[in-house]
Amino acid sequence: MAITRSKPIEFKIYAPQAKRVNLAGSFNSWDTRMLAAKKDSKGNWIAKVNLKPGRHEYKFFVDGSWLNDPHCTTYVGNAFGTQNCTIEIK
């Protein structure tokens, strides 16, 4: 039987004017405080998280507003009438 291992995944959003960026999703019960992103010198905010294989939904929480990942290509509707980004981990 194969052991399913988590893989380190990097999420990045360009938001040079932002004061605070967090990553929230199905992998952390949509907690907007748990995964703080770090800002680099170019204005990119980067959050790293270990994810198990499967499909995960997520969004960025930027200065109190939900934003989708501009690099995301697949979305799913949510209960709020907007869309969540999805990522498939193999």
Alpha-carbon torsion 31, 19, 68, 90, what sign?
negative
Task: Judge whether 27 lies within some domain.
Answer: yes
Residue 36: what pLDDT? 98
Tokens for 28? 């952390």
Task: Judge whether 1 lies within some domain.
Answer: no
CB of 13 closer than 8 Å to CB of 37: yes
Task: Judge whether 2 lies within some domain.
Answer: no
CB of 66 closer than 8 Å to CB of 40: no
Is 90 exceeded by the pLDDT of residue 73? Answer: yes
**Domain extent at residue 18:** 7-89
Task: Judge whether 64 lies within some domain.
Answer: yes
| pLDDT, tens only, 7-44 | 999 999 999 999 999 999 999 999 999 999 999 999 99
pLDDT over 70 percentage in the chain = 97
The enclosing domain of 21 has a CATH number of: 2.60.40.10
Task: Judge whether 29 lies within some domain.
Answer: yes
Model confidence at 67, in pLDDT bands (50, 70, 90)? Answer: very high
CB of 42 closer than 8 Å to CB of 28: no
CB of 68 closer than 8 Å to CB of 60: yes
Model confidence at 3, in pLDDT bands (50, 70, 90)? Answer: low
* Nearest of 8, 22, 2 to residue 52 by alpha carbon: 8
| Count of domains for the chain | 1
